[in-house]
A and B are shown apart, each in its own frame.
Chain A
Amino acid sequence: MATNVKKKRRINPALLAHGGMDIPFLCFVLALLTIGLIMMFSASYTYCYYNYGGDSLYYFKRQFFFAIVGIIAMFVASKFKVEIYKVAATPLLAVSYLLLVVVLFVSPPPGFEEFHRWITIPGITTFQPSEIAKLAIILYLAMHIGEHYKGINSNEIMQVRNFRMPVRTYCFLLYVAIVGVACVLVYLENHVSGTLLIFALGLMMMWFAGFDYRIFVIGIVLVVAAAVIVVLNPDILPAHAQPRILAWVDKDYDPRGVRWQTNNALYAIGSGGLFGVGLGNSKQKQLYVSEPQNDFIFSIVCEELGVIGAAVIIILFVLLVWRGFYIAIHTKDKFASLLAMGLSFQVGLQASLNIAVVTDVLPNTGISLPFFSYGGTSLMMLLFEMGLILGISRTANIKRS
């Protein structure tokens, strides 16, 4: 019967991770996921009502389905020893490069003609290859750094073809190339925010690798300088990104166009005040904040739950990132540790940038809020990644009370 079938297909126990997973981390994930789902429903129902023929549940049903699939994926992923994913690192990087090239030749959805960010598999899903590239780069760098950690952090010399060079140099150049190629490809999509995220993730992974800190100081100084230059001369940016900088500098710029979304997000946050107008009562989601279920969902959260509710969510994100790092620090295996740190950082980076954008601290860029923004594929992937961290936590040396 069923048990027999199961027994036949039983996975080699050597591949499975043992030990309990980290409950605090799981709690943070589930808490964010639950709040995220509820808020996505609240934020989207007017939008759906008007755009999907009165079906207010249109997005919620889809998101909920992907959340269920994602949770299953998370638990399945957490069951395996994390080492087995090393096998996938190189092919995944290759596939993601391929997809980043392919996406440049796919015709974009109507209304987004300049942006080559999405690949649609008709009837199934739409996804962004840059999302996959992020995971691929974290995974590959974690694997590679894990294998060469000692080499990078010593004066070891290696032979590459006819050249002898320090491992450190070799790895540095390799990583710069991997991240650089990805950045260039994503940039070609007309996707500045994606480029920055990949750049940041790559830089952080290299930071973990242990390269000379002066490189990063110089790097950060260069990034800040670049940012200042861009803000002062927006015309050096691609055409689609320029107005966003202009609109960030000049708060009165094109209020019914570029600044519409940001302004309405600010109105929403202001309307919420300290305690919020109550769950479901946002008025700004009534078609004022464009696509309130997407990148600007946090403004609706603020309006309905107030600054207090929003602060609780920020704290949950901080706790999640902290716990991810905590797990990583307590993991012996360098690959597992680096992977956990990379993934945790990714969530923290996206969440913090998103909140900064919604509150107009940073210019409007297309960064979604993990666990909250609508997007089935990316939610599923996120939960899978959380599954990886949970899997790592099983082997981590954490005192459990």
Chain B
Amino acid sequence: MPKAKRNQLKNRAIIALLFTCILGFGAGAYGLVNVGLINGEKYKLKAESQQLSDTTVTALRGTIYDANMNVLAQSADAWKIWINPSKISSDEDRQTIAQELSTVLELDYDTVLEKCSRSDYAYVLIKSQVDYDSKTQIIEFRQSHKGYNQIIGTEEDVKRYYPYGKFASSVLGFTGSDDVGLSGLEYFYNDTLTGTQGRLVTAKNAKQIKMSSDYSAYYEAETGLNLQLTIDQVIQYYLDTALEEAVTLNNANYGYGIIMDVETGAILAMSTKPDFDANDPYKVADEVKATELEAIEDPDEKSKATSEARYSQWRNRSICDSYEPGSVYKCITAAAGLEEGVVTPDEMFNCTGSYEVLDRTFHCSHRAGHGVEDFTTSMMNSCNPIFIEVAQRLGADTFYKYFEAFGFAEKTGIDLPAESTPVADVTYHSRKRLNAVAMASSSFGQTFQASPIQIITAINAIANDGKLMQPYVVGSMLDSEGNKVFETKPIQKRQVISKETADILKVMMEKVVSGGTAKNAYVPGYRVAGKTGTSQKLTIGENIYIASFCGFAPADNPRISALIVVDEPKNGSITGGSVAGPVAAEVITNVMKYLNVEPQYTDDELAKLDVKTAKAVGKTVAEAKKELESTGFTVKVIGNGDTVAKQVPAAGQTLPKNGLVVLYTDKDAEPQTVIVPDLTGLTVAEANNTAIACGLNIRRVGYTSAANVTAYKQNVDSGSDAQMGTVITVSFRTEINEED
């Protein structure tokens, strides 16, 4: 055999070996380097993205407190309930699950059943923000049925609770399902409240089960800060209640109001009515509106109308809306005139009922004219021609200077979202376009727009000795341990008028309340100062009004400013004096009492003051009767005993001087009841006499110092039963006809 042949096997073996190693293992080695090194990072990232589950650890959203640390908004743990329809094998299971879930979670059975039927899906959300009890119930149900563990799942969630529902909802705003603030403070301070979300990065296997803890990393969540508002729950309550009543009483579209701390510009209360329940913001809270929406048949139209209604109820009109301030602006014109020395409070004017500027004739609300009057009286009368005259004396430059100084050409900068922005030559006359006619109408607050917050901020500057403050709602921020990490320092924007001018204005404005168009805002003892406004919404149509009052109290040392706006009153009275004045009086009375402001009565006021009932219980009937009758009360004794066992009204109640006190000698005697009469529309004396004739007392509230004052509401409905001697609160007001 030749050598080549002899070594053939060996040669072929070597070729085979090389073939295997180079081609075979070479291919493997190439693949290894290619996948493991060259493209390694790419594959590694893909591996991590499927292995790592990045769970956000929600930092509980900060709490919102009122000025006295009452909780206004708070977050709590909640749960999401979801199902994996692909794991449901029978119709029977589908129905059982749909039945249980729809019952516990208060959902529509058919909707849930439909979700259970999406067998191509592995995750279908049934409901979010489910509370603990419902979640527990569902977990128990899940455990009691075999295999349901794979079908029904729960996930952590959070829910925002607003303990008082509608309370200041337009200021607080609300959060969405993802715990993000969508409006109001919740939106404006979202980052502050949210804090930093933590992350839990865990490795999970392909069945989404956690791998051992070696693979997990935890980044701690930082709880959001808590907000302490300047809003005081009690003051807010007074404002809310008064506005809500005013809207109903006047059949108005909206009522909005602001109470401000004079010295700091802090908002003590801010309300828009009707508003919404922050716990259920998507529900149209106005029942009439909701019924109207329900009636719309076309689904597109319905959803459009519903969404409009929602946006409308979410709107914080004290911030976002603007209107012509009307006569309230006369305070600013007066401030400018007095500061610049073009007019004095006692200067005499003659109102002829109209005033001509170039080719335009402006009328006074009192067409016949007020005749000869001093400047203070012209303000009390809200006399347009006099203010046009003052504006003319100032000239456009100076007039505009004060317009700007009082903040009517800029945002106030309040810490709330969507503040309406003044736009030159759209919402107000810029200096360039401020011709004589424009200035004339501007001098009494027309042909320009201002937002409620702008108006109260400007009036507050008068109350605050000429210092214009920047309004704010958040007083401080607290960490989770309650430490103050930030405190708002009041910001004085500028001194707009001197203290002397401010003092003169305070006196003038007090006179507007005590004897002018703002009579209804008068509160004995509390020296309210203010100005009413009645403006037509000329952009919408004639005879559509906004009635407002803006003022402060007490006039000599102002503590609070208040703005009350009733948007489109449609119940006869439309003037600021008639509609907004009484609301302001009610709110200011309550707030002054709450703030423990000592009333200062004039002699006149003291004479009319109600008397406190003496303590009769325990005394002999004769003794008690003598004592009570000596202060002017009528006494009625029920029973034959010698000593008084019970008295109605109780000791210490204030009654009109001729009020009725009922004494019982038997403690267990059946109380005598009477039917409450309708007192509305009556004068003070008529109402008092009617009440006493029926065996009842009245407590007078509101403006009662004039002859033509009439009752417009009572706190116990007519026709209902009441114990003899009961004190019924009756609110009075006078009709103000000046559409100022």
Which A residues are closer than 8 A to B by beta carbons? 46, 50, 149, 153, 204, 207-208, 210, 263-264, 266-274, 281, 283-284, 286-288, 302, 306-307, 310-311, 314, 317-318, 321-322, 325, 328-329, 334, 337, 341, 345, 348-349, 351-356, 358-362
Known: A266-B35, A288-B50. A210 touches B207 (CB 8 A): no
Given contacts A286-B51, A322-B21, A348-B24, contact A361 B31 (CB under 8 A): yes
Cβ–Cβ contact A352 & B20, under 8 A: yes
8 contacts between A and B (CB under 8 A): A207-B16, A288-B47, A311-B29, A321-B20, A345-B16, A352-B24, A352-B27, A355-B31
A361 touches B30 (CB 8 A): yes
Given contacts A287-B207, A288-B205, contact A348 B21 (CB under 8 A): yes
Q: Given known contacts A268-B47, A302-B36, A314-B28, is B5 in contact with A153 (CB within 8 Å)?
A: yes
* Bound CA span A123–B16, Å: 41
Taking a contact as CB atoms under 8 Å apart, the answer to whether A329 and B46 are in contact is no
Do residues B24 and A349 form an inter-chain contact, with CB atoms below 8 A? yes
Measured CA separation A360–B36 after assembly (Å): 12
User: With A and B bound together, what is the CA distance between A255 and B550 in angstroms?
Assistant: 70
Q: How far is the CB of A61 from chain B (nearest CB, A)?
A: 22
B residues 1-42 near A (Cβ < 8 Å) are 5, 8-10, 12-17, 20-21, 23-25, 27-37, 39-42
CB distance from B41 to the nearest CB of A (A): 7
Closest 3 CB pairs of A and B: A270-B43, A359-B31, A352-B24
With a CB–CB cut-off of 8 A, which chain B residues contact A328? Answer: 13
Say whether A356 contacts B27, CB under 8 Å: yes
How many residues of chain B are within 8 Å of chain A by beta carbon?
Answer: 45
Within 8 A of A (CB), among B453-471: none
> In the complex the two chains form, what is the Cα distance from A251 to B614 in whole Å?
97
Whether A269 pairs with B8 at a CB distance below 8 angstroms is no
Beta-carbon nearest neighbor of A210 in chain B = B8
Supplied contacts A272-B36, A353-B24, 4 more A-B pairs, CB within 8 Å: A149-B9, A286-B211, A288-B206, A352-B28
A306 and B32 CA atoms in complex are apart in Å by: 10
Closest approach, in angstroms, between the C-beta of A64 and any C-beta of chain B?
24
Closest B residue to A362 using CB positions: B27
Q: How far is the CA of A153 from the CA of B214 in the complex (A)?
A: 65
**Is there contact, CB below 8 Å, between A273 and B40?**
yes
CA distance A50 to B216 in the complex (A): 21
A361 adjacent to B206 (CB under 8 Å): no
CA distance A302 to B31 in the complex (A): 12
Given known contacts A153-B5, A270-B41, A284-B47, A325 and B28 CB-to-CB distance under 8 angstroms: no
Is the CB of B592 closer than 8 A to any CB of chain A? no
Q: Verify B13–A325 contact, CB threshold 8 A.
A: yes
Q: Least Cβ distance of A31 to chain B in Å?
A: 16
Would B215 and A302 count as touching, CB distance under 8 A?
no
Please tell me if B203 contacts chain A, counting CB pairs below 8 Å: yes
Closest beta carbon of chain B to A259's beta carbon, Å: 12
Q: Is the CB of B206 within 8 A of A359?
A: no
Residues of B within 8 A of A337 (CB): 9
Chain B residues whose C-beta falls within 8 Å of the C-beta of A321 in the assembled complex = 17, 20-21
Is B608 at the interface (CB under 8 A from chain A)? Answer: no
Residues of B within 8 A of A302 (CB): 32, 35-36
Q: How many residue pairs bridge A and B at CB < 8 Å?
A: 159
Question: Which of A269, A272, A273, A334 has the most chain B CB within a 10 Å cutoff?
Answer: A269
Question: How far is A315 from B665 in the complex, measured between Cα atoms in Å?
Answer: 115
- Cβ B8 vs Cβ A283 within 8 A: no
What separation, in Å, do the CA atoms of A354 and B215 have in the docked complex?
30
- Among candidates B16, B25, B36, B51, residue contacting A341 with C-beta atoms closer than 8 Å: B16
Closest-by-CB residue of A relative to B20 is: A348
Most buried by A among B10, B12, B23: B12
Indicate the member of B13, B40, B41, B211 with the most A CB atoms within 10 Å.
B13
Asked if B51 and A288 sit within 8 Å, CB to CB, the answer is yes
B206 touches A286 (CB 8 A): yes
B31 near A352: Cβ-Cβ < 8 Å:
no
Residues of the B chain whose Cβ atoms lie less than 8 Å from the Cβ of A50:
207
B6 nearest in chain A by CB position: A153
Bound together, the chains give a CA A311 to CA B25 distance in angstroms of 10
CB atoms of B50 and A269 under 8 A apart: no
Judge whether B44 is part of the interface by a CB distance below 8 angstroms: yes
Nearest residue (CB) in A for B28 is A355
Q: Which residues on A sit within 8 Å (CB–CB) of B23?
A: 352
Digitize B214-243: 1 where CB-to-A-CB distance is under 8 Å, 0 elsewhere: 110000000000000000000000000000
Complex CA–CA separation, A175 to B13 (angstroms): 19
User: Once the chains bind, are B215 and A317 in contact (CB under 8 Å)?
Assistant: no
Assembled-state Cα–Cα distance A356/B30 (Å): 8
> How many Å lie between the Cα of A286 and that of B41 in the bound state?
20
Contact of A283 among B31, B32, B37, B203 (CB under 8 A): B203
Q: Please tell me which one of the listed residues A208, A281, A284, A360 contacts residue B31 in the complex, with CB atoms under 8 A apart.
A: A360
A361 touching B13, Cβ below 8 Å:
no
**Most central of A207, A306, A328, A352 by chain B CB within 10 Å:** A352
A108 to B36 CA separation, bound complex (whole angstroms): 36
Closest CB-CB distance, A94 to chain B, in whole Å?
28
Residue of B14, B25, B51 with highest tally of chain A CB at under 10 A: B25
A286: min CB distance to chain B, Å? 3
In the complex, which of the residues A286, A318, A362 has the most CB atoms of chain B within 10 Å of its own CB atom? Answer: A286
Please pick, from A153, A272, A281, A361, the residue contacting B27 in the complex, using a CB distance under 8 A.
A361
Q: How far is the CB of A323 from chain B (nearest CB, A)?
A: 10
Q: Is the CB of B13 within 8 A of A208?
A: yes
Complex alpha-carbon distance, A209 and B10, angstroms = 11
A355 touches B17 (CB 8 A): no
| In the complex with contacts A283-B51, A286-B51, A286-B205, A329-B10 CB distance below 8 A | yes
In angstroms, Cα B443 to Cα A375, docked, is 99
Q: Please tell me if the beta carbons of B32 and A270 are within 8 angstroms of each other in the complex.
A: no
B10 partner residues in chain A, CB cutoff 8 A: 329
Closest Cβ–Cβ distance, residue B33 to chain A (whole Å): 7
Cα(A91)–Cα(B24), bound, Å: 32
Question: Which of B12, B24, B34, B39 is close to A207, meaning CB atoms less than 8 Å apart?
Answer: B12
Shortest distance between the CB of B739 and any CB in chain A (Å) = 74
Contact A287 B205 (CB under 8 A): yes
**Contact of B31 with A358 in the complex, beta carbons under 8 Å:** yes
Task: Determine how close the nearest CB of chain B comes to the CB of A368; give it in whole angstroms.
Answer: 14
Q: Which residues of A contact B47 (CB under 8 A)?
A: 264, 267-268, 270-271, 283-284, 288
A359 touches B17 (CB 8 A): no
**Once the chains are docked, how many angstroms separate the CA of A52 from the CA of B407?**
77
Q: Are B13 and A269 in contact (CB under 8 A)?
A: no
Interchain CB contact under 8 A, A306 and B207: no
Query: B217 to nearest A CB, angstroms?
Result: 14
Q: Enumerate chain A residues within 8 angstroms of B8, measured Cβ to Cβ.
A: 153, 210
